[in-house]
Amino acid sequence: MDCVKLIAKYNGLGIAEVIDHDKFNLIAIDHHSTRIEGSTLTEIETQVLINEGRTPNGKPLQESLMVTDHHAALLFTIRNARAKNKLSVTLLQQINALVMKSTGKVYNTMLGTVDSATGAFRKGNVTAGVSYFPNFDKVERLTGDLVAKLNDEMGKPLSVEEQLNLSFDAHFNLVSIHPYYDGNGRTSRLLMNYIQAYYNLPLANVKSENKAAYIQALVDTRAQENIQVFRDFMNREYASLLDKEIEKFEEMNKPSKGGGFTFLF
């Protein structure tokens, strides 16, 4: 089943209206996005941290700070999207600053000092694995061009499929510019969520267990200069997420002799 049909089924079942569904969906996004970047917190530990403020025993404090900062950035992103606040370079920098609030580092370069907790653009060149990113002196212009392109597209009437593809394209293009020293992946995934929330779509989540396939999709898209490669990967992730949510919801509401619940004693 394609993503558009899955969205229609998901909305038709009223899954998003279930009490606390939104809260736990956002926590799942926090969990997987930070796991991709190195956090070792489990999903249960992430839930307890966000809901109760309790850090897990034996885990580095920095990992808990990464999660709580991501949650604040996600709430900020969703709030701006639902208020229909226009996308801007400043808004992206604010999101990145929230992502890196407690874990950002100071970088001393020949062109000056950059505090990565402020959302400032990088002043040096960077690589990640086999990928090289645009020279630092192009970052500000490229980020501005991307924001202008996204605003232009969002000003047009788009089908649901086009809205989804726009969110995936934004994700790919921002992470490929790599405008910051730190937090590029998290900020790019939040930009994707911003566009999805703007259009009241269910929010996408890249599962941390699929990290290798995710990185490979980014690399292959750049190598082939074909955005459809990344779109296909994200559509599979998105369809899998919606499928599982629908399956869980239908299983809990399935008519049965016991009324859909079995006592375990």
Q: Catalytic positions, please?
A: 178
Q: Is 184 annotated as a binding residue?
A: yes
User: Do 43 and 35 meet the contact criterion of CB atoms below 8 Å apart?
Assistant: no
Token readout for 229 is 């490669």
CB-CB contact of 111 with 123 (8 Å): yes
CB 193 within 8 A of CB 203: yes
Is 183 known to sit in a ligand binding site?
Answer: yes
82 in a known ligand binding site:
no
Neighbours of 251 (CB within 10 A): 9
Q: One-letter amino acid identity for 160? A: V
What is the C-alpha to C-alpha distance for residues 60 and 257, in angstroms, rounded to an integer? 48
Confirm whether residue 25 is marked as ligand binding: no
Q: What is residue 210's DSSP assignment? A: G
Decide: 109 and 124 in contact? Cβ < 8 Å: yes
232-to-168, 200, 213, 228, 237 alpha-carbon distances in Å: 10, 21, 12, 6, 9
What is the DSSP annotation of 89-152? HHHHHHHHHHHTTTT--EEEETTEEEETTTTPPPSS--EETTEE---HHHHHHHHHHHHHHHHH
Is 220 marked as binding a ligand? no
Question: Residue 186 annotated as binding?
Answer: yes
- Give the residue numbers of the binding site: 182-189
- Give the residue numbers of the binding site for ATP: 182-189
